[in-house]
Amino acid sequence: MLKEGLFPNEITMLSFYKECGFIGALGLGKWLHAFTLRNGFNISLVLATGLIDMYGKCGDFRSARSVFDSIADKDLTMWTALISAYAQTNCIDQAFDAFVQMTSCGIRPNEVTMSNLLLLCAKAGALEMGKWVHAYMDKQEIKVDRILETSLVDMYAKCGDVDAAYQLFTKTTDRDMPMWNTMISGFAMHGHGKEALELLTEMERLGVIPSDTTFVGVLHACSHAGLVMEGKKLFQKMVHEYNLVPKVQHYGCMVDLLGRAGLLDEAKELINSMPMRPNMVVLGSLLAACKVHKNLKIGEWAAKQFLSLEPDKCGYNVLMSNIYAAEKRWDDVAGIRRAMKDVGLRKEPGTTSIEVNGSVHDFVMGDKAHPEAEKIYEMIAEMREKLENAGYTPDTSSVLQDIDGEEKETALNYHSEKLAMAFGLISTAPRTPIRIVKNLRICNDCHTATKLLSKIYGRVIVVRDRNRFHHFKEGSCSCMDYW
C-alpha cells in the first residue's frame, strides 16, 4: 500500500490495532503506535481508545494507562477501554480505582463497563466486590441486558456462590444459549454433576438444541462428579443424536473423565483413536491422572507425546517430576530440573489470593511481604498446633525435594493456601466463610488440612483451584475426595 503511494488513514490504523490486540502482538502494536506518532497522526479519542484496547489485550496495562493519561477530554468509551485493559491483566484494584475516578467525573457507566467489572471479579474470585457491582447496577438502574445477566451468573458461579448464580438463572425467562452454557459450566466447576445433567434435560424438554459448548460443560461436570457411564453416554449422544463432530475439547473432557476414574488404559486408547492430534490439555489431563494413580508407565508415554507437541512448555516436566518424586526417584527429578534450567523453563509459581474488606491479597509459598506477616505466621503456628491435636499427619508427598521429613513438614506449613487461610482467620469475623483462589491445583496436604481446619474453626472454607471448587465444611469437602 505504501509502495503504491497510498497513505493509511485512521481506519487503517484502527484495523491494525484491533488485529494486534486479537493475536497479542505487542511488539508489532508498539511499532504501529510509533508509526502513528512519527507520521503526524492526530491521536483522536477513537485512535487513543483503539490503542488502549490493543495494549490491554496484549497485557501491557502500563502503556494503556500512558495513552489514556495523554488525552485531556476522555469519554465513556475510553474509560471503559481502560477498565477493560485492567480486567485483561487482572489488576482489580486499578480497575475499580479507574471506575471511581470515572463516576466522580460525572460519566455514567454503561452495560459494557459493568460487564468488564463483573469479568474481573469472576477472574479474581472477588465475591464481595462482585456483589457491590450488582448492587450498584440496581441502584443506578443500569439496564441489564442478556449479556449482563449472563455475566452476573458467571461472576457468582466463579466466585463460589453457585446458589446465587442459579437463583439469577431461574429468574431469567428468555434464556439464550450462552446463559444455559454458563449455568451448566457453573455447576460443573462446583462438582454438581447431576444438576448439570438436569439442566441439559430441561433444555431438551424446552426444545433448546444443545451446542458443542453445552456438551463440553456437561462432560466436564460428569468428570468432576465421577459420572463415568453418564459421560460416555453423553459423548455418544452428542455424536449420534445431535450430529455434532467431537472437537479436541470434548476428547479432553473424556480423557479427564476416564483418567480421574483410574481408567488410564482406556484414556490412552481414546487418545490414540482421536482423528486429530491431541493438544497439551488432552495429554496434560492424562499425565495429571497418572500422577494421582501413580502410573509411571503411561505417565512416561504421555510425557513423551507432550514433549513432541510442546517442547518449550514446562507443564509436562513438572507433572513428570511429581510422578518421579512420588516414586522417590530423586535422580530422575533432578534430571528433569536440570533440563528445565538448561533451556530456561520455569515452573509457574503457586499463588493464592483472598478478598478481605474489598481488597484482594496475594500470597506465595513462604511469603513474608504482607504487612500483617507477623500475625499471619502466629496464626500458622496456632493452626499447626490445633491440627496436630486433631490427629493431622502431614502428607509430605506434596514436597518434591529430597530433604528430610522435618524439613518437608516445615515447607508444607507455609504453602500459599495456608498463608491465605491464616490471613482470612485473623481478618474476618468468626463463623463467616473464607474464600480463596489458587492458580494451581490444591495439593493433597492442604486439602486434608483444610478439611480439619473447617471443623476446628467452625468455618466454611471455599477454595477455587485451577480445576474446580472445593467447599470445606465440618471436616469434609464437597468433592468427596474425588478430584
Q: What's the rounded mean pLDDT across residues 425-453?
A: 93
Per residue in 148-193, pLDDT (tens digit) is 999 999 999 999 999 999 999 999 988 999 999 999 999 999 999 9
pLDDT over threshold 70, residue 242: yes
pLDDT over threshold 60, residue 426: yes
Mean predicted lDDT score pLDDT of the chain: 89
Domain boundaries, the chain: 1-108, 351-477
pLDDT over threshold 90, residue 425: yes
Per residue in 218-230, pLDDT (tens digit) is 999 999 999 999 9
Strand 476-477 relative to strand 461-464, pairing: unpaired
Placement of cell 485483561 in the chain: 88
Q: What's the rounded mean pLDDT across residues 384-405?
A: 72
Residues 383 and 350 sit within 8 Å (Cβ to Cβ)? no
pLDDT over threshold 60, residue 408: no
Beta bridge partners of 360: 355
Q: Bigger pLDDT: 60 or 347?
A: 60
Residue 327 vs residues 263, 297, 307, 321, 401: alpha-carbon distances, Å: 20, 12, 21, 10, 12
- Report residue 336's pLDDT band, with 50, 70 and 90 as the boundaries: low
pLDDT over threshold 50, residue 405: no
Per residue in 78-122, pLDDT (tens digit) is 999 999 999 888 888 899 999 999 999 999 999 999 999 999 999
pTM: 0.85
Beta bridge partners of 437: 353, 464
Helices 127-139 and 111-124 cross at an angle (nearest 10°) of 160
Residues 413 and 441 sit within 8 Å (Cβ to Cβ)? no
Q: What's the rounded mean pLDDT across residues 239-255?
A: 95
Placement of cell 460416555 in the chain: 232
Placement of cell 490486540 in the chain: 21
Per residue in 264-317, pLDDT (tens digit) is 999 999 999 999 999 888 988 898 888 888 888 898 888 888 777 766 665 556
Strand boundaries in 425-468, DSSP class E: 434-438, 461-464
CA angle 202, 204, 205 (to 5 degrees): 60
Q: How much is the pLDDT for 42?
A: 86
Q: What's the rounded mean pLDDT across residues 358-366?
A: 90
End-to-end CA distance of the chain, in Å? 56
pLDDT over threshold 60, residue 318: yes
